[in-house]
A and B are shown apart, each in its own frame.
Chain A
């Protein structure tokens, strides 16, 4: 979409996916035949939109005046001082309308859905941030909207459920499985296959069948494109490290992608280690999973020896997913990005650190990225630079955090 993408040459790490929607062995289109013609149509419509300057102009208009872009790159002075090492910058995606990076992607896809003549939107959501963003644009454009959300997540993200309903969306709790994001994704796919004639499936992360991983990444890449300009303006050079939380991987892919061809920039994705990487209660698909096929793509998955998908666990509903976007699986295999874990407890500690030192209440998802940055910053020289992607704000999480702190609200 951006000029930099168009310049990406054959040797660039930014030229994927290939014609089959693959990043190395990952990605693809593993869907029922009923959906295959729709994916081919979507691919064609997306390519046409990319080639149309009017689409870019329209998207830019909404990104600026509705979403509120560009988001600032904030120098976190007190956190930097407290940690006593590398300089910490925060990319403030929590300042977007609806409170997270999710709207970047949703804005792009809703404009595409409108171009394709669709009148009804379905989406899956974990933390509810993608659901809220989707319900928001459906209100903006007067479209019907059904949001599938695991019953467990409905319970732990009550404020977002109410927000979605206020916005006019139908929120459908999913009781299958553990009632989390994976089950919501299954149910959203079932709705789509049933209502193909008028319905657009608005995927919320860089997963699912091709072209979703590519399309969502492209729409989220605005995060990295801005970060690059902003850090050059502030420091006159690129950062040493970029850290982002990984659920499906969209906020991370968005900030990583414009830096893939800058090998001096370390890219670190922080998965939810849950109760610990080796506790058996984790959502760290890359670190503890094996390649497999789920939800339309081949990627790292938490699964048993028989290929049955196992339940993920994380305190953070937005990271509680047993898979990850295929491009991350590829970046991990080729060694361009590193994937690490932060536990529930580390995220809770980082949540409080950020709140107290910067006056920014981060989403529990983003707190995983902060936790890892806080771990490595003290060991780095003071002239080094870390950028943390603050993917969302934490208002939605105060009930969960209160419970863990033993506070009754």
Chain B
């Protein structure tokens, strides 16, 4: 069983939902982002998404765009991202790590070598924003061979008859992009979620995470009431950005501020009790 499957199985047995925070690699520098990553499980993260900076994040809003640029300025390359995950893994063998990014840096690295190296570094799953099922063959073989989960995105625009196409080849969990839009902007209403989730549940047995627009402990709690996990990215990155000095460098407040916010989100998520299932 993969780390991701194991983590979700444990959570189900405990009747809990999951919080999945996001950290952008090398934002604003390698050591700071690694310190945040290392602090996340202790602050309540159940799984972690590590953003791979890309120069042209066309599906992301201003907050992640800026984080990606800071990451690139902070020296991020695919090699550095994997080094960061390996450094984390040396001290934590349980918390699943999912890399989130765009196709081109993976293609430039070489999809096969990338999957092998990512697995060796301790990565568990991949979310490739601009790789729909129609283009998934680029990674499907190498990811399966390496034992990496491919997390599929599903959107409000995905019609019912397309769900089997999207979920074919999906593993780990499913990421529901809860709004039509870019990251860090609008929030889905409770009504919208109540409508969307049964539709997805009918088409997959995989755990479902909700992302895009989850900013507060209340919204995170709402999301895990409807689904299995809540992804929080822009809200944490905004906090990080607010702690940087005039030159964009990390300060003594950077790591604690992000982790403190994370703790608040995690407490709200973990206070929601869900039906215990085996």
Contact = CB atoms under 8 A, between A and B. Distances in A.
Given A30-B131, A30-B135, A306 B158 contact: no
Contacts of A20: 134
A308 B61 CA distance: 18
B161 to A, nearest CB: 10
Contacts of A368: none
Interface stretch (B15-23, B176-184, B202-210, B231-239): B176-184
Contacts of A36: 132-134, 157-158, 162
Question: Chain A contact residues: over half helix, strand or loop, or mixed?
Answer: mixed
A177 interface: yes
Contacts of B107: 292-293, 298, 307
B61 A182 contact: no
B33 interface: no
B134 A194 contact: no
Given A186-B58, A295-B58, A34 B157 contact: yes
A25 to B, nearest CB: 11
Contacts of B104: 292-294, 301, 303, 307-309
Interface in A351-396: none
B187 interface: no
Interface residues of B, number: 43
B59 A193 contact: yes
A177 B56 CA distance: 9
B185 A32 contact: no
Interface in A1-44: 20, 28-38
A177 B131 CA distance: 23
A182 B56 contact: yes
A166 interface: no
A116 interface: no
Interface in A171-228: 176-177, 182, 185-186, 189-190, 193-197
B56 A294 contact: yes
B200 interface: no
A194 B107 CA distance: 27
Contacts of B134: 20, 28-29, 36
> Which of the listed residues B72, B79, B135, B159 has the most CB atoms from chain A within 10 Å of its own CB?
B135
A309 B105 contact: no
Given A33-B177, A301-B104, 4 more contacts: A37-B157, A298-B107, A307-B78, A307-B107
Interface of A: 20, 28-38, 176-177, 182, 185-186, 189-190, 193-197, 290, 292-296, 298, 301, 303, 305-310
